[in-house]
A and B are shown apart, each in its own frame.
Chain A
Amino acid sequence: MTAAAPSSARLPRIAVLGVGHSGPVIARVAMAAGYPVSIAASGDPENIELIAQVLAPGAEPRWAADAAREAGIVVLAIPLHKFATLDPALVAGKLVVDAMNYWPAVDGVQELFEDRRRGSSEIVQRRLARSTIVKTLNQIGYHDLEDERRPAGSPDRRALGVASDDPGAADVVAELIDRIGYDAVRLDSLSAGRLLEPGGPVFGVALRRAEFELAVRAEAA
């Protein structure tokens, strides 16, 4: 199916939580990269069966708890204002990719995320204290995520930031990003991940690795 297929047997299962704008797209590109994928919304998998079938064929619709339990990587692709309703126990002990954004101009103000000293993923980490958070996939338009994939080594391959306090978790996610079709640029803390947020230097910008590194370094300096 893809170049990644021969070694895909050892790739971790991915649970995409969320079937809004970005969830089905993330599921599609992860499957194309060779990962087994489950997809879940807040309720009965029957309700998302048709969406999965048409928009992410091959992804298994599951209850969120089942999808998370069976996954090596859980991707949070729910609207951030629904985050408060997510039971932390559901993803306890899991590697969790936070693909969400705090976007008050679009989604309204939320008290939980109004703490300007912390990035939104730091706040997510505090609430999901028993999970390991990696911030990525938030900074690229959900449609672009599919269109702008390029094989490794392509001169126009775009870079995506991967931020975490846990280097091992960041490794796993950096591999996912690379297999999907992007250069992964590591940021060594969730705090540094604030550079990936709306209004930051790389949000929604198509940058190659060198440009990306330059942009985050300039801002961090």
Chain B
Amino acid sequence: MTTAPSDAAAATAGEPARFPLVLGLDTFGDVTHDSGDRPLSHAQTIRNVVEQGVLADQVGADFFGIGEHHTDDFPMPAADVVLGAIAARTTRIRVGSAVTVLSSDDPVRVFQRYSTLNAISGGRAEVILGRGSSIDSFPLFGYDLADYEDLFEEKTNLFAELLKGGPVTWQGKTRASLHDQDVVPHTESGPFPAWIGVGGSPQSVIRAAHYGFSLMLAIIGGSPARFAPFSQLFQQALERFGRAPLPVGVHSPGHVAVTDERARDEFWPRYLEVIRAVSKTRGFAIPTKESFLREVGPHGALYVGSPETVAQKIAANLTVLGANRFDLKYGMGGLAHHALMTNIELYGTQVIPRVRELLA
């Protein structure tokens, strides 16, 4: 049987990156455990995330992102506050959401919060808009998941208007209209970078291109090469909308330790536990050691291993996907804070230089 479509896409998606290489880190504020394997408090988890962000800056990561979540095991509903704390203690690293669940938020507030973060950080703020894989914000804020697409479409439209700066006039169904409204704080030097996180919906790719937002591919299972056609679709859609090419990024989970074996041994039991819980609510099969090793291997979505293993995999997939940015979603519920700090340190001091070398 033929696999022509993906082959053709891979061939053209593999052009040399037109944008600077960006290598970042993402967290969902996964609750970490102490040395006795007891969960730390939400408060301590949040303070640890601040320390992780500061370390990410020190070891040379380009970006630190926090994904909005609203659950007991991911107590991270106010990512922008945590990013503000990190911004105040760093000077170099870019800080942003990964993702902001725009559909259940108010675009005006999102703009205000990230524009404030942009002020605090001296222009280092970014925002990635999307749904994420959690749905908890919808009932929490009184939204119906069935309205997801309409909410996202309309709110993305308003957010794009707000980003342009200057007074906004806007009318829609999901919030009060705005008439020549000045929304503060103003940005110092034009719009901060905005991305749309996409998990597999072609319409979301088209939407990102339509608004001129960059594309962040969330690849959390299966072969990353499957997403190459999305990268191609994005660039072609930009062209059709008369826009210049824009960056494409990849967000994937992983764990870096000194050796492959150590990384797998630390990550696997935590991964199993977390995915087992997700499987239960979603009716999926529970992962097996075999399926885990497939995901860790060259054709899977997990970046678990030594710095060399992870760097090779990042470099290979950025090339296949025609992407210039990779954000490693580090951490997994139950891992210890010190294991995450080691992960961040190895990522910054070894993985990043090695990926740069491989792609030079």
Residues of A within 8 A of B (CB): 1-4, 19-21, 24, 28, 32-33, 50-51, 53-57, 81, 103, 105-108, 110, 141-144, 146-147, 149, 151, 181, 197-200, 203-205
Is B272 close to A, CB under 8 A? no
Residues of B within 8 A of A204 (CB): 283-285
B8, B202, B233 interface centre (most CB from chain A within 10 Å) = B202
Give Cα A205 to B279, complex, Å.
12
B234, closest chain A residue (CB): A54
A1, A141, A143, A205 interface centre (most CB from chain B within 10 Å) = A143
B283 and A197 form a contact (CB under 8 A): yes
Contact pick for B146, options A28, A57, A107, CB 8 Å: A107
Is B2 close to A, CB under 8 A? yes
Number of interface residues of B (CB under 8 A): 35
A-B interface contact total, Cβ < 8 Å: 93
A106 and B222 form a contact (CB under 8 A): no
Is B145 close to A, CB under 8 A? yes
Chain B residues numbered 242-281 whose CB sits less than 8 Å from any CB in chain A: 281
Report A186 CB to chain B, min CB distance, Å. Answer: 22
Question: Given the interface contacts A55-B229, A204-B284, A205-B285, does A21 sit within 8 Å of B236 by beta carbon?
Answer: no
B282 and A106 form a contact (CB under 8 A): yes
The proximity string for B residues 13-29 relative to A, scoring 1 for CB distances below 8 Å and 0 otherwise, is 00000000000000000
The proximity string for B residues 132-147 relative to A, scoring 1 for CB distances below 8 Å and 0 otherwise, is 0001001000001110
Known contacts A4-B1, A107-B145; 12 additional CB pairs below 8 A are A1-B2, A3-B1, A32-B3, A50-B233, A54-B229, A55-B202, A108-B138, A110-B146, A141-B222, A143-B223, A199-B283, A204-B285
What are 21 A-B pairs at a CB distance below 8 A?
A1-B2, A21-B199, A21-B200, A32-B2, A32-B4, A50-B240, A51-B202, A54-B236, A55-B202, A103-B282, A105-B283, A107-B145, A108-B138, A108-B145, A144-B222, A146-B226, A149-B1, A198-B282, A198-B283, A198-B284, A204-B283
